[in-house]
Structure 1
Amino acid sequence: MIYKDPEVHFNINSQIKRSISTNIQFSTQDIDTAKITFSLTKDGVPLPISQATHGKLFMRFADGSKFYVNTEVHDALGGVIFYVLTPEQITHYGTVQAELYVNYDNGQKLSVHKFSFEINRALVDQDIAPVVEYYVQDFESLKAVIQEMADDAEQVLAELQKKFENLDNIETKEGAQEKADAVESGAKAYTDEHAAKTDNPHKVTKDQVGLSKVDNVQQASKPEFDMHNSDNTRHITAAERTKWNDGQLFKLTEDNGDRKLISDGTDLLTLSSGLYYGVSNKIVNSPDPNASEWFHYDVSTNSARKTIIVTGTATPKRWFGTVNTDGSFKGWQRFITDADVAVTWQSPTLLNGWKQYGTQKVQFCKNALGEVELIGSVSGGTVGFDVPAFILPTGYRPIQMLHFIGVASSQGTGTTPQYHRTQIATDGTVYIQSCSNNVSPNEYITFGFKFRTS
């Protein structure tokens, strides 16, 4: 990713400090590229960012808009965090007043510093009328331009003069009205005379008007017509017609009421409204393309939106999915059931002298969201960057190398809290790399964190 990435250094202390006017300037066209990086120190050393620490950024834009957002961690041990302005935020151009905070899970909070930066309004985002400019290199060129304009003016005057000469042939309004009235009077008299004739002046025959095809038979009498008109057996009511017109013209199920079988290779998003079933891994755009189970689908469509709901499978899993009004599929969302919430805890095989600490047994599990949780404590092993403490099995490993800060024993250091740094590699190897307790670094090490697997 490419960013405009200025870095701001803040030292957290209680000394008087005024708001910093930074030299940071973004543009309203810096969409998803306006990034501010904060380097935090306290007492001269980097401020570690743990899972219990949250960087919060408050911004007040020039138009009065306010945003209170979470930052992201770039370097946890180095105290480096960052925030990328959203496409909506970058449109609020002008001076931005901001303040950075650090919040902890135990309720403590720190105000880091106030600062300001600029968002410049890009030219493409302004209403600018184009201006046509003319450039004349010398006097002779200017003279030629003026002469050309004069020739055009003379031609226009000549055309106007010719049109004015034709005005003598234009009749006045009163004269034209008099002629029109005379024509109208003559036409009316002729029409009235023709309409008064009863001798069929045009010699129209019954064949010409279609009367030759009409049978000269007796028609129904008025009582007979009334009797037919009131016959409700032969005629339908308005309510009956409405009921028939509103009836379903498309079968939602098979004739016997069962769901319709989906053919292999069918795109689920192309189905009309109805109830269906099919094997998940043989259907395009199914919620679980790797499952060989039978899925039941409820599909509801209209002219603008399609909603697809999976109501059951061979296992207790449930999904729903929608197609937006713009035609794009928004993906499947899975319902979490009580069975999904239950997890199975496992214990790893400890290596290099590490053993369980008391009753706080080291265990790990994975929930329905794909998150692995590691808890418990170990003691007595070797601390080192390349010394494995234990290895997590396949399916319980992080998608990238992770570092965690945890609680360590303070034995031998008085009451000063101690901490350790633990690394989990992508192959599942867990290394207790270092401990702040230099007296008894392996008295006990405590784990308590989560991470997402692939």
Structure 2
Amino acid sequence: MSYEKQTWNKYDELKTEEENIENGAVVTDNRMNHMETGIGDNDANLASHLADKNNPHKVTAAQVGLDKVDNVKQASKVEFDSHINNKSNPHAVTASQVGAYTKAESDSKLTDLSNKVIANKGNLASGTDLDNVIDIGTYRIGGLTGGTDIINVPSERSGTTIYAYLTVSGTTTSVVQELIVYDSKTVSQIYSRSRSGSTPTFSPWSKTVMADDSGKVTVSNTIDSGQVKTATINTGYGRSAVITRIGNTVTITSQNQHSSVPANGSWQRGIGTLPLGFRPVADALIYNHDLSNASKFSWSLFHPNGAIDLFSNGNITTSDYILSSGQFWITKDDFPN
């Protein structure tokens, strides 16, 4: 029920106590109880109102702006967690939608990749002919004798015990073999060869030259098949010589006569010039002598700057046939054009 308000008046000294009570000017137990009851009723009403979840104020969706929001049921936390934990593609997303390969495309890629991987093929058996090892992969040779247990090895490995890995790459019609030989006594050595052509056959083995851990390269039993350049030079007093450069090596030969008589008994400096591309890294001395008279001889001295000096002895004339001993030197010049 609603609270009935009481009226309070000012105490009138001219009136009796009873009259002031009746006039509402005195606090009495009835008036106090009336107030207490009102407060209690108000508390009860407030509690009841707070507990009322049925929109007691009749608030509409428009009044709080919900008329602009779709009235859609939201998932519960249980439903939300269940969706998150669903790993079976609940949205039915396709590979193309995320730019991924399909299973068929992935299988094709993996098959193609497997054809390019160098697989470990294990140990080669005794009696294996390397000409027949053309499947792509890596093979091990474990202590077999070259030329006997393992056929068509590099020639310098015939008759030796071989510990090595053989890598075969390419295709069955165009094959490259690389043989890496190792043991506990020497550094690793690498050989390679290839097989191709309409009737595929292997090329000879070639050996890779390698530096040791200090950067030093040691080469033995070499054949210099580098560029070759030949020139004819004047060695002084009208006598010529032929010089030939192969790689960084220069050789000189001469068998002829002077066109003018050389000065006798003293060094004649700068009487000729050795062209660039043939000059020695250090002085090179050549002995020349008469074909029939050993007392007639001379020395030709070639300097790194290209100057040629001559010392003659025995009064050589223009009729004397002079032979030069074979000589060679090393040059660091750029190769001549």
Under TM normalisation by the shorter chain, which class is it? 0.3 to 0.5
Q: Which has the higher contact order (CA 8 A, sep 6+)?
A: 2
Structure of larger gyration radius:
2
Q: TM-score, normalised by structure 1?
A: 0.27
